[in-house]
Amino acid sequence: MIHCYCFSSSETPELDVRERAELILGGSLNDANTQVYHVRNVAPNKEMMCLSFRLPEGIAFCQTQALSYKRPKFTH
């Protein structure tokens, strides 16, 4: 089981969190093994969410590289 905590400013944070995870993982998550929980409000219009899922075998053993999702680093 994987538990991923993340933030969303979307009007539909459950869907936003799941879609971003699937994009990063490079595959679809199984509805039966995936739950999205609201953890808390962290700011006006910003929610902390927990995405819990069982890693699908197709993603775990995929030969292609998943999308690298890193925030850009800013240098002065």
Closest CA to 22 of 50, 55, 64, 48: 55
Question: What digits encode the pLDDT tens for the residues 27-62?
Answer: 889 889 999 999 999 999 899 999 999 988 888 887
d(CA 56, CA 27): 9
d(CA 8, CA 33): 21
Give a yes or no: residue 6 inside a domain. yes
d(CA 28, CA 49): 19
Report the domain count for the chain.
Answer: 1
Give a yes or no: residue 23 inside a domain. yes
Q: Has residue 73 got a pLDDT over 90?
A: no
d(CA 41, CA 9): 10
Angle subtended at Cα 28 by Cα 42 and Cα 15, rounded to the nearest 5 degrees: 30
Give a yes or no: residue 43 inside a domain. yes
Question: What digits encode the pLDDT tens for the residues 2-33?
Answer: 999 999 999 999 999 999 999 888 888 988 99
Show the domain range for 42.
2-58
Give a yes or no: residue 74 inside a domain. no
**pTM: predicted TM-score of the whole model, two decimal places:** 0.74
